[in-house]
Amino acid sequence: MDARINRTRTAVMEAATELLLEGGPAAITMDGVVARSGVAKSTLYRHWPTRDALVIDVFGHIAPDLPRPDPSLSFEEGLRVLAHGFVDVVNDPYWKRLMPAMLLLKADLHEIAELEDDLKQSQVDTVTPVLRCGVDEGWLPEGFDAEAVSTLLIGPILMAALTGSTPLTDEFADRCVDHFMAGVRATCPLQSAATSA
């Protein structure tokens, strides 16, 4: 990307994210971003022809990236890397402020559904190799629902982050994996048989 375009994009994304944090989705306006970023209005409209296009780009810009576990790890080890990575993301003070704003953003902008599908696909691409390892090791059945399985693992961490009910620590991440593995063990005939043998 051209250095000048990159600087413009960075300035706009930072300004729009600040506005989102300060006032929610409605605070992201073209005039507000121009005033905050110092980018000319004509330049802003050249790259983002509408406010919705800008908001969708902001959503993609601020979406977190989960670490990709080493493919040589076992199923349980890979799950622990994912859980610890997610705890790190939601524990970051920046992300604690951004999560509620992102939820409001999703509710405010219907066009974000397509981008949300892309983000979900990116997360599934990160998680699926670990879950495939679970199939190879006999923990998960063929044809598992990657999104449902991921939600069962990550859901408690997200709930704790949103409610502030439980400290988000590595120990909590490990407990989530322990409970997840206990549930998988109870429903997996191969693992149940191995445990009782």
**From the centroid of its chain, how far is CA 56?**
15
The tokens for 2 are: 């051209």
122-163 tens-digit pLDDT: 777 888 899 999 999 999 988 888 888 888 888 899 889 888
- Range of weakest confidence among 82-91, 102-111, 164-173: 102-111
CATH superfamily of 64-196: Tetracycline Repressor, domain 2 (1.10.357.10)
Residue 105 token pair = 């953003």
Taking the C-alpha atoms of residue 68 and residue 115, their distance in angstroms, rounded to an integer, is 21
- Contact status, residue 84 vs residue 91, Cβ threshold 8 Å: no
The pTM assigned to this predicted structure is: 0.71
Domain limits, the chain: 3-61, 64-196
Q: What is the pLDDT of residue 191?
A: 53
| Rounded Cα distance, 92 and 87, in Å | 9
Fold held by 3-61: Arc Repressor Mutant, subunit A (1.10.10)
